Amino acid sequence: MMPLNELLAQTLIRERQAEMEREAVEAHATDHRTSAARRALAVGFAFISRGSAAAVRRLDDCQADDLVAGLTAGHGA
């Protein structure tokens, strides 16, 4: 069973990606000229966003491991 905070984070990521895809389709439909600077900036923000999401997932995993270790240590006492 997936922890609630991980489920919420994944749902939020999926919603943001879907929104970004919708915006990209709308932008492409309205303007066929792409701005290189705008695209580079968007790619940069996407890279940062995905990196921070990965970092948060790693922190959640570490906290979960620490919590489980604490609970098992307390349970054996």
- The answer to pTM > 0.85 is no
Task: For the chain, 77 residues long, give each residue's pLDDT as a single digit of tens.
Answer: 678 888 888 889 999 999 999 988 887 776 656 677 888 899 999 999 998 988 888 888 888 888 888 888 876 54
Q: Which of 50, 62, 70, 64 has its CA nearest to residue 1?
A: 64
Q: What is the pLDDT of residue 75?
A: 65
Three-state secondary-structure class, residue 32: coil
Q: What is the pLDDT of residue 18?
A: 93
